[in-house]
């Protein structure tokens, strides 16, 4: 008996999604709750799992096709029966009854059997049967196997056509469609550049006080709270303090209105294989350093595993981006609309600085704050960044609420 497999029910803010890929093929046996497909939306990737032990009997939405909420994408059978395509291929290619039949269906170079349809497709595409993963009975290559091999080959950058004597005048290229996440990022960033009056102001911070605090109390902090004392929690706490002092930096523009937020929801940019995502630490003003660190670790883990949910990234009043983990010394971060400001962290680098008339070597970090000049004046932007600098260079005052 066949069961319908539908796309997940999308949140109200998501209109549709794209079938990112099928992890299982038609006719392939799967276990209950095993992931069989991934649906990519503008912000997250949603998993489709098998309802019970069985197999996919029919795929209606191929990889790359658009789907709406709760739309039929496949049929699933508890019997584990083979797909119609495999059954048709096997009907056309019955198992050999004697040596003569074996000579017809067996590839003499690699001992893999294939039917006429599969053999014709491999010949037309110059495919070595030894490179095709066979899933048919008795190790037979089916037409579906060849199609799967071609799709995998097309998707893999390592399989670009090499330059040979026949194409010596051409250079290899690959054209692939943008993922929905990448396309959404591109669209939103372009809109920010076009629709805001974005400027960036810079400063630098001496990180020695925080480094000394981490050295002195790091082990004790980890033993008590179960997480390491990182740098990001200090920046989040410093941002909360500065946002309280400069409410316009924590505001957003809605048409001709200014919306002032009485809470501080801090977005922390996280880089993933699929692109940049910004999970939100909600009500950061109510969290201590340990709670902030735990939130960051939880979101980072979910982002790496592709487990972030839509509500994890919705909202936010201010964003912090850390390009320093990739070695960036200085950059101009771009706004995360509709927010009106973003703080950019950078690489900590030992540099000579003048302190009390003497030149000393200190671990310094450049800070960059991009802001929407429609709402935030230069004086406020500079004052906000100086506030963060002072909090980080005197972390004891930050922790004491001074």
Question: Quick one: fold of 91-162?
Answer: Dihydrolipoamide Transferase (4.10.320)
Q: Is the pLDDT of residue 38 over 80?
A: yes
Reference 348, options 237, 201, 217, 234; nearest CA is 234
**Chain segment 255-273, per-residue pLDDT in tens:** 889 999 999 999 998 887 7
| Domain ranges for the chain | 2-77, 91-162, 181-400
Question: Residue 322, SS3?
Answer: strand
Class of CATH domain 181-400: alpha beta
Identify the pLDDT of residue 12: 60
Residue owning tokens 């079938």:
19
Higher pLDDT, 231 or 182: 231
Average pLDDT of the residues in 227-240: 94
Kindly state the tokens that stand for 156.
């893999």
| Burial call 94-114: b when 16+ CB within 10 Å, e when fewer | eeeeeeeeeeebbeeeeebbb
Residue 96 confidence (pLDDT): 47
Task: Provide the whole-model pTM.
Answer: 0.63
Question: Which distant-in-sequence residues (6+ apart) come within 8 Å of 356 by Cβ?
Answer: none
| Model pLDDT, residue 153 | 61
Distances (CA, A) of 164 to 150, 156, 174, 388: 21, 20, 17, 58
State the average pLDDT for the chain: 82
- With a CB cutoff of 8 Å and minimum separation 6, the contacts of 118 are 89, 141, 142, 143, 145, 146
pLDDT digits (tens, 9 = 90+) for 136-160: 666 778 766 777 777 666 554 444 4
Catalytic residues: 373, 377
**d(C-alpha 142, C-alpha 116), whole Å:** 9
At residue 382 the predicted structure's pLDDT band, cuts being 50, 70 and 90, is very high
The whole-number pLDDT of residue 399 equals 79
- Give the position of tokens 């919705």: 314
**Where residue 98 falls among pLDDT bands split at 50, 70, 90?**
very low
Looking at per-residue confidence, does 132 or 215 come out higher?
Answer: 215
Q: Is 158 helix (H, G, I), strand (E, B) or coil?
A: helix
- Between 189 and 286, the higher pLDDT residue: 286
CATH architecture of 2-77: Beta Barrel (2.40)
How many separate helices (H) and strands (E) can be counted in the chain? 10, 19
CA distances from 99 to 21, 95, 113, 201, 302 (A): 41, 11, 13, 80, 56
Distance CA 393, CA 106 (A): 74
Residue whose tokens read 């506030």: 387
């Amino acid at each position: 008996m066949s069961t319908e497999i539908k796309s997940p029910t999308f949140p109200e803010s998501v209109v549709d999604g794209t079938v990112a890929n099928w992890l299982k093929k038609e006719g392939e046996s799967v276990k209950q709750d095993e992931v069989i497909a991934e649906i990519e939306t503008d912000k997250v990737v949603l998993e489709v799992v098998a309802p019970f032990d069985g197999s996919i009997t029919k795929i209606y939405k191929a990889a790359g096709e658009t789907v709406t909420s709760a739309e039929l994408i496949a049929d699933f059978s508890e019997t584990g029966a083979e797909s119609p395509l495999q059954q048709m291929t096997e009907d056309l290619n019955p198992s050999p009854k004697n040596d003569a039949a074996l000579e017809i269906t067996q590839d003499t170079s690699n001992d893999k059997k294939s039917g006429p349809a599969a053999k014709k497709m491999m010949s037309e595409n110059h495919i070595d049967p030894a490179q095709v993963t066979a899933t048919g009975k008795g190790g037979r290559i089916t037409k579906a196997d060849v199609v799967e091999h071609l799709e995998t080959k097309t998707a893999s950058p390592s399989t670009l056509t090499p330059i040979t004597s026949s194409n010596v005048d051409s250079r290899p290229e690959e054209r692939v469609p943008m993922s929905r996440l990448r396309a959404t990022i591109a669209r939103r960033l372009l809109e920010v550049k076009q629709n805001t009056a974005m400027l960036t102001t810079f400063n630098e911070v001496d990180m020695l006080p925080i480094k000394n605090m981490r050295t002195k109390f790091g082990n004790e902090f980890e033993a008590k709270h179960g997480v390491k004392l990182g740098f990001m929690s200090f920046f989040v706490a410093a941002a909360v303090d500065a946002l309280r002092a400069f409410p316009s930096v924590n505001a957003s523009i809605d048409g001709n209105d200014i919306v002032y937020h009485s809470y501080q929801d801090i977005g922390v940019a996280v880089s993933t294989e699929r692109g940049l995502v910004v999970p939100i630490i909600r009500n950061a003003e109510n969290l201590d350093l340990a709670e902030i660190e735990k939130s960051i670790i939880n979101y980072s883990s979910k982002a790496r595993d592709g487990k972030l949910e839509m509500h994890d990234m919705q909202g936010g009043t201010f964003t912090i981006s850390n390009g320093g983990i990739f070695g960036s010394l200085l950059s101009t971060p771009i706004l995360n609309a509709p927010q009106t400001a973003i703080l950019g962290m950078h690489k900590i680098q030992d540099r000579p600085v003048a302190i009390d008339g003497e030149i000393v070597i200190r671990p310094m970090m450049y800070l960059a704050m991009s802001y929407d000049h429609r709402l935030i004046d230069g004086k406020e932007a500079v004052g906000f960044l100086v506030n963060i600098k002072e909090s980080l260079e005197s972390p004891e005052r930050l922790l004491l609420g001074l």
